[in-house]
Amino acid sequence: MIRCISPIDGSVYAERTPLTAEAAHAQVAQARAAQADWAARPLAERIALVRAGVANVGAMNDEIVPELAHQMGRPIRYGGEFGGFDERASYMAEIAEEALADIVIEDSDAFRRVIKRVPHGVVLVVAPWNYPYMTAINTVAPALIAGNAVVLKHASQTPLVGERMAQAFHAAGVPEDVFQNVFLDHQTTSELIAARSFGFVNFTGSVPGGQAMERAAAGTFTGVGLELGGKDPGYVCDDADLDAAAETLIDGAMFNSGQCCCGIERIYVAEALFEAFVEKAVAIVSGYKLGNPLDPETTLGPMAHARFAETVRGQVAEAVAAGATAHIPTFAEDDGGAYLTPQILTGVTHGMRVMREESFGPVVGIMPVKNDAEAIAMMNDSDFGLTASVWTQDAARAETIADQIETGTVFMNRADYLDPGLCWTGCKDTGRGGGLSLIGYHNLTRPKSYHLKKA
């Protein structure tokens, strides 16, 4: 049984029975059979149906927001994810014609030579619980628009999300076999991948999860897109707007209880600004209200599961035992379970787990640095490479620094944002692949060359 344990009170909020292996193979076969007719529909029709599905999700938002609070703990005051969900899907719809256009090399009396983009067939999307709608739509929308059938497997923590999306898209007119929400255990998922059931697999989750996907796909030549762990750094240069940097970086570290793929987990500050930055950071975090996410006054909800909070508590305790300073006294609402005090640490080193391993919780370590060279070295001293955030008034300086940072994205004077016009990608243990933008369409299709001799 797949169970969602609500972080609000530890109760079972939802449970679903996973498909048997036989039933799962049958579902995929139905998707494969339906895909050709879907791909044969005009591109404009597919775009319109996806847009209508997205709008239907928006119409459900009043119900979705409290569901998310129950499933993964995000406070209702933030209104859910539909803004980003719609932004990403709409952008991918807008660029579809250009991104999927034929590349005509020659169309003369003698030859027609052209490269077309054709769908992979059936795309498996394995989505995470932390931003369950936005992460799923990153692939679902362009995959459907490109002519693929989609099988969505959502995280056990957020089982209602896939059901909501399927309901919305089916009501819009996307055939049920073309977009399927399924409940699968890990073994069945791996068996399906190993059996070449899918033309492409997109996975967002942990490093071990990504490794399991690659092992399952080994030897099948199935394309696998992976967005895995992160330990994203921020760097506050000596000319930074200190107030803006503190506000944005600390929000990037703490929003969603720190459970953001590109959340800030390490901050490096120019020595001259270090004490002032820490003072501002502590003041910001001290003002948070930890509590029940259904309470509109709550600004910081519980972590999605007590075991996630335990990981963060362990990292903080180890760091303090090794000489770090914890600046935030334990909140009264900290129950030793999913409700966790947000924490700012100084006196940290890269020898501590909290500065090396993914925390995925409301904690950030802050270190002073002497110059750009030291900051770059510290930012690159990580197994992960998703995003980095650089704070300076000098765009040329930021770009010079960015050229030397080993990440998929570098921000200047912002953080924790996914721009659908840019490729969402990573390096090192963060994985490989690229979502959204024109490149997202390229990854969800394959090039097919036509060499037609007319005479």
Q: What is the pLDDT of residues 240-258, one digit of tens each?
A: 999 999 999 999 999 999 9
Average pLDDT over every residue of 168-194: 98
Average pLDDT over every residue of 209-224: 97
Q: Which domains does the chain have, with CATH numbers?
A: 2-228+431-453 (3.40.605.10), 232-419 (3.40.309.10)
Measured distance CA(388)–CA(394) in Å, rounded: 16
Q: Which of 4, 237, 260, 261 is catalytic?
A: 261
Q: What is the pLDDT of residues 312-337, one digit of tens each?
A: 999 999 999 999 999 999 999 999 99
Q: What is the DSSP letter of 220?
A: T
Measured distance CA(289)–CA(334) in Å, rounded: 11
Q: Where are the alpha helices (DSSP H) in 347-425?
A: 372-380, 395-403
- What pLDDT score was predicted for residue 455? 83
pLDDT more than 70, % of the chain? 100
Q: What is the DSSP letter of 199?
A: S
Q: What is the pLDDT of residues 408-441, one digit of tens each?
A: 999 999 999 999 999 999 999 999 989 999 999 9
Residue 296 predicted with pLDDT over 90 = yes
- What pLDDT score was predicted for residue 267? 99
Residue 141 predicted with pLDDT over 90 = yes
Does an H or E element contain 84, and which?
A: helix 82-99
- Report the b/e string of 148-161 with b at 16+ CB within 10 A: bbbbbbbbbbbbbb
Average pLDDT over every residue of 46-58: 98
CA-to-CA dists, residue 353 to 227, 313, 316, angstroms: 21, 11, 9
- What pLDDT score was predicted for residue 231? 98
Measured distance CA(75)–CA(302) in Å, rounded: 9
Residue 216 in contact with residue 196, Cβ under 8 Å? no
Q: What is the chain's mean pLDDT, rounded?
A: 98
CA atoms within 13 A on the CB side of 376: 13
- What pLDDT score was predicted for residue 57? 98
**CA gyration radius for the chain?**
23
Is 374 designated active site?
A: no
Amino acid at 280: K
The neighbouring-strand residues paired with 4 are: 14
Instruction: Report CA torsion sign: 196, 202, 207, 209.
Output: negative
Residue 73 in contact with residue 255, Cβ under 8 Å? no
Is 227 designated active site?
A: yes
| CA 197 to chain CA mean position, Å | 24
CA-to-CA dists, residue 190 to 6, 134, 161, 343, angstroms: 27, 24, 22, 38
Q: What is the pLDDT of residues 96-131, one digit of tens each?
A: 999 999 999 999 999 999 999 999 999 999 999 999
